[in-house]
Amino acid sequence: MERTALRRRLTWQLAEVLAVTRETPRVRRIRLRPPDWPGHVAGQHVDVRLTAPDGYTAQRSYSIASPPSQPETELIVERLDDGEVSPYLTDELRPGDLLEVRGPIGGYFVWPEHADTPVQLVAGGSGVVPFVAMLAHHRTSGSDVDVRLLYSVRTDADVIARDELRPRPESAVVLTFTRDAPADWTGPRGRIDRELLVRHTAPPEQRPAILICGSTPFVEAVTRELVAIGHAAERIKTERYGGMGDTS
């Protein structure tokens, strides 16, 4: 079934914007109703295309934050100050607008549906978005896979999807604050390093399926440390923001 969705020809469609809500000072959640949504797999993304009055277009990819079971599709977008598309989406877009999208795209960086090992997610900043979808899917599908998220974020005000990422019995979420931690914080601080990975992620003996998403330096550093502590390279999938999906 997933394969069918991936193989389907992707056409642009005009999705109605149902809501734009504030996640953090720089991040908005956009709820959309695409007229012809074939369903998606947690971890996939969409392409968004903006068109100016003279016909000029700009398109970018954004991760889907909502689980497959949710009828509306949600994107979570961080404003890049020198960006062309994200400031429009975070500052200008409002309910009732139509947004041109196509998707879902990407079948690689997705929730491992039939995992027989733990799943370890590692996010830096807005790299957490595909994992928001994965954890919601894990919860709504009643999966009994042992899933953990290690989420590196600058300050408490930068935490995305705070409610959805509250630790639950079936999914462990560990935050580390790289700039300022809340006054009463007793958890980890600082950038993700080897010690933090050893303490807060599934050990190599459990052969976890590992997914890492964040900026390029974040993904490089975390991947290198995970390989160094004994995880097999073929168990690690990576995605960097600024772009999805290819290996250029």
Binding site for other proteins (CB under 8 A): 6-10, 14, 49-53, 55-61, 84, 88, 92, 97-100, 105-109, 216, 220, 223-224, 227, 233-234, 236-238, 240, 242-248
How many angstroms separate the CA atoms of 58 and 52, rounded?
9
Question: Residue 239 Cβ, how far from other proteins at the closest point, in Å?
Answer: 8
Question: Residue 108 Cβ, how far from other proteins at the closest point, in Å?
Answer: 5
For 13-40, b where at least 16 C-beta lie within 10 A, e where not — what string? bebebeebeebbebbbbbbbebeebeeb
β-pairing verdict for 147-155 and 73-78: unpaired
Question: Residue 144 Cβ, how far from other proteins at the closest point, in Å?
Answer: 27
Residue type, 144: D
How many angstroms separate the CA atoms of 5 and 22, rounded?
31
CA dihedral sign of residues 13, 62, 247, 204: negative
Strand partners, 237: 211
Residue type, 240: R
Does the bond joining 130 to the residue before it have cis omega, within 30 degrees of 0?
no
The closest alpha carbon to 176, from 202, 211, 149, 203, belongs to: 149
Question: Residue 231 Cβ, how far from other proteins at the closest point, in Å?
Answer: 9
The closest alpha carbon to 109, from 219, 9, 14, belongs to: 219
Backbone dihedral angles phi then psi of residue 147, each to the nearest 5 degrees: -120, 140
Task: Indicate the residue among 104 and 188 with the shorter CB distance to other proteins.
Answer: 104
How many angstroms separate the CA atoms of 199 and 193, rounded?
10
